[in-house]
A and B are shown apart, each in its own frame.
Chain A
Amino acid sequence: MSTLLQVKNLTTHFRLPQGTLKAVNGIDFSLDEGETLAIVGESGCGKSVTAYSIMRLIASPGEITGGEIIFGGVDLLRLSEEEMRRVRGDRISMIFQEPMTSLNPVLSIGNQVCEGLRLHRKLSRGEAREAGIEILRQVGIASPERRFDDYPHQMSGGMRQRVMIAMSLACRPQLLIADEPTTALDVTIQAQILELIDRLKSENRMGLILITHDLGVVAERSHKTAIMYAGKIVEYAPTRELFANPLHPYTEGLLDSLPQNSRPGEPLKTIPGFVPNLLEQLPGCGFCDRCPVKSWECKESQPEMKEVGSGHLVRCWKFR
């Protein structure tokens, strides 16, 4: 299997009046063709900024300040804006979190689905319409010929998310980034959408980066998992291995706090405290204030990523 995407030491900072916010602070991961990588973390951990960085959609005051994003042998960070625009929406595309706000309300859904085909594939209006209808059919929109000219407000949340998926898949991308694709949806619709993404993925041998905070979705749908905390990946492992043998205290805490892992009516295990303020520069491990097993070292210096098993990496002073 060949490597599709390799992210090396990516750092994305936001220069704010109060100081530099290190949203993504040196992360590494890779993705093979046809593989699914889940990125998990709480709000503010940098998982969405990672996605936007790969798409090069970081706007001022944010800036990608270092690292490499190697996709198909090319470092995306070295491409000009013009060259990047040719990649974006064609070979790499993205599904955004909110189907309600990420579609243009004044354009018909057909128009939006076909935009990529017209731009990247230079299809004529008629050809694009035909292709667009076919894609809408594939994502499970009933009578797509009629729905093609509908506007987003005429559709339900699940339908809109299908349209988003159709848009992002129109050009058959090699890499799809899905940022919380089902968070706004009901479980029954979520099951439909995840099933659909999986099916289309295996048809196209597409790589998928799935950003989510739902550990159930991660366990069922991904091959590899990266757990992010305060701008860093703290644990990175094959998904099966991660759930069977979680090593980082944060990962353990997340799994323990699931209602499924306690008896009904008993207090849930919790991780005390809050996510740290990323504006403050702390020398040590970002998790140390909330960590149940911290030692003096944790406050003093940042632990490095250590490989503890085959493909299982963890960033914690417990492992050295």
Chain B
Amino acid sequence: MNDALIETSALRKYFPVKSGPFARNLLLKAVDGLDLHIKRGETLGLAGESGCGKSTVGKLLMGLTPPSAGTISYHGRALGEMGKEERNAFRKDVQMIFQDPFSSLNPRMRVGEIIGEPFAIHGLAAGAQRREKVIDLMAKIGLSEEQFYRYPHEFSGGQRQRIGIARALAVSPQLLIADEPVSALDLSIQAQIINLLMELKKEYGLSFLFITHDLSVIRHLSDRIAIMYLGKIVETGSREDVLDRYLHPYTEALLSAIPRVAPDVLKQRIILQGDLPSPINPPAGCPFHTRCPYAEQICHSEPPPLEEHEPAHLCACHFSKKLFR
């Protein structure tokens, strides 16, 4: 796709793991053949259970860890082919908001220094000019100028997450990667942060990769959604396609597992048996067949391809049509 801001093709990340001192190296397939794209100004929600590889995707897109195979291109340029200058520009354009507002801020730095650090790294502003920009950012995220010299421990979780957001915004990025940015926060604070992210997106025309396990947050924020299972995308499409007209039994099970505040029509809840299988030795065939309530013979042997079932609505399941249409 040409209008993609960032795009991955057949992206893989394998980690070698040893089960004992003399054991053979095994491969943990955290990300296993991923095709994703995010357009300018778009929010892509990436959802799945812990251990499905969604955080690794975030790290790969940040360029924090090199892929084992496949490519990531930014504005059509492959990350691996970039020279030093291009690479630095990429690092400025893509910023990250972390999950844990308690461990992602340096406790020995003052808030003003934390938010100002990206300016220093990219040589953008110094001295009084930097201070002014930091104070502007602080105002934008709802902190006051007096808090410039405070340390992170003097702030609540919600405020710290705001500081993390200000730091990411400092260098006017194009793409923000947010890895579970609200899951460590209290409910009333979650809503404040979600609203802040939506405002900033509108104001700066940001693109977002929103990584979370919480489908109600994803529904609220995303334009498109990708559901991941064991390193693979099992379903992707527009928000409505995936959440309201899903085609994959895993999406159905995830949605069904969310406890509802208004149990309007109490549908029979689908409770998946067992845990996510180990990504070291993933099941043959469809990775979901061990927990799938509809699995048949073919699912044990043949991995279903990720196919376009409806325009821009892709799903990897042998029986989508039969089950859901």
- Cα A221 to Cα B217 in complex, Å, equals 22
Interface of A is mostly: helix
Q: Does B81 contact A (CB under 8 A)?
A: no
Output the nearest chain B residue to A250 by Cβ-Cβ distance. B188
* A259 touching B217, Cβ below 8 Å: yes
* A186 touching B50, Cβ below 8 Å: yes
* B258 touching A216, Cβ below 8 Å: yes
* A271 touching B188, Cβ below 8 Å: yes
- Cα A269 to Cα B188 in complex, Å, equals 9
Q: Does B20 contact A (CB under 8 A)?
A: no
Q: Does A304 contact B (CB under 8 A)?
A: no
The one of B191, B261, B274 in contact with A268, judged by C-beta atoms closer than 8 angstroms, is B191
**Minimum CB–CB distance for B246 against chain A, Å:** 15
* A257 touching B187, Cβ below 8 Å: yes
The one of B49, B195, B221, B263 in contact with A188, judged by C-beta atoms closer than 8 angstroms, is B49
* A216 touching B259, Cβ below 8 Å: yes
* A190 touching B261, Cβ below 8 Å: no
Q: Known interface pairs A219-B260, A269-B191. Does A262 touch B220 (Cβ–Cβ under 8 Å)? A: yes
* B261 touching A257, Cβ below 8 Å: no
* B261 touching A216, Cβ below 8 Å: yes
* Chain A neighbourhood of B254, CB < 8 A: 187-188
Chain A interface category by residue count: 35 or more
* B220 touching A215, Cβ below 8 Å: no
Scoring A142, A157, A187, A213 by chain B CB atoms within 10 A of each residue's CB, the highest score goes to A187
Q: Does A42 contact B (CB under 8 A)?
A: yes
The tally of CB-CB contacts under 8 A between chains A and B is 115
A residues 203-223 touching B (CB-CB < 8 Å): 213-217, 219-221
A residues 128-148 touching B (CB-CB < 8 Å): 142
* Chain A neighbourhood of B191, CB < 8 A: 257, 259, 268-271
Q: Known interface pairs A257-B191, A270-B195. Does A265 touch B220 (Cβ–Cβ under 8 Å)? A: yes
* Chain A neighbourhood of B258, CB < 8 A: 187, 216
- Cα A215 to Cα B187 in complex, Å, equals 9
**Minimum CB–CB distance for B227 against chain A, Å:** 12
Q: Known interface pairs A156-B275, A186-B49, A270-B192. Does A191 touch B257 (Cβ–Cβ under 8 Å)? A: yes
B residues 170-191 touching A (CB-CB < 8 Å): 186-191
Q: Known interface pairs A259-B219, A264-B220. Does A253 touch B188 (Cβ–Cβ under 8 Å)? A: yes
- Cα A187 to Cα B52 in complex, Å, equals 14
Output the nearest chain B residue to A45 by Cβ-Cβ distance. B186
- Cα A195 to Cα B276 in complex, Å, equals 18
* Chain A neighbourhood of B156, CB < 8 A: 274-275
**Minimum CB–CB distance for A158 against chain B, Å:** 5
Q: Does A189 contact B (CB under 8 A)?
A: yes
A residues 182-197 touching B (CB-CB < 8 Å): 186-192, 194-195
- Cα A257 to Cα B191 in complex, Å, equals 6
Output the nearest chain A residue to B50 by Cβ-Cβ distance. A186
Q: Does A267 contact B (CB under 8 A)?
A: yes
* A188 touching B253, Cβ below 8 Å: yes
Q: Does B271 contact A (CB under 8 A)?
A: yes
Q: Does A301 contact B (CB under 8 A)?
A: no
Q: Known interface pairs A191-B269, A270-B195. Does A214 touch B275 (Cβ–Cβ under 8 Å)? A: no
* Chain B neighbourhood of A159, CB < 8 A: 275
Q: Does A43 contact B (CB under 8 A)?
A: yes
* B213 touching A42, Cβ below 8 Å: no
Q: Does B313 contact A (CB under 8 A)?
A: no
- Cα A191 to Cα B157 in complex, Å, equals 27
* B257 touching A264, Cβ below 8 Å: no
* Chain A neighbourhood of B124, CB < 8 A: none
**Minimum CB–CB distance for A198 against chain B, Å:** 12
* B187 touching A213, Cβ below 8 Å: yes
Q: Does B284 contact A (CB under 8 A)?
A: no
Q: Does A29 contact B (CB under 8 A)?
A: no
What are 14 A-B pairs with beta-carbon distances under 8 A?
A186-B50, A187-B215, A191-B256, A195-B271, A213-B186, A215-B261, A221-B259, A258-B216, A259-B191, A261-B261, A262-B220, A264-B239, A272-B192, A274-B189
Hey, which bits of chain A sit against chain B, CB under 8 A?
42-43, 142, 156-159, 186-192, 194-195, 213-217, 219-221, 243, 253-255, 257-262, 264-265, 267-272, 274-275
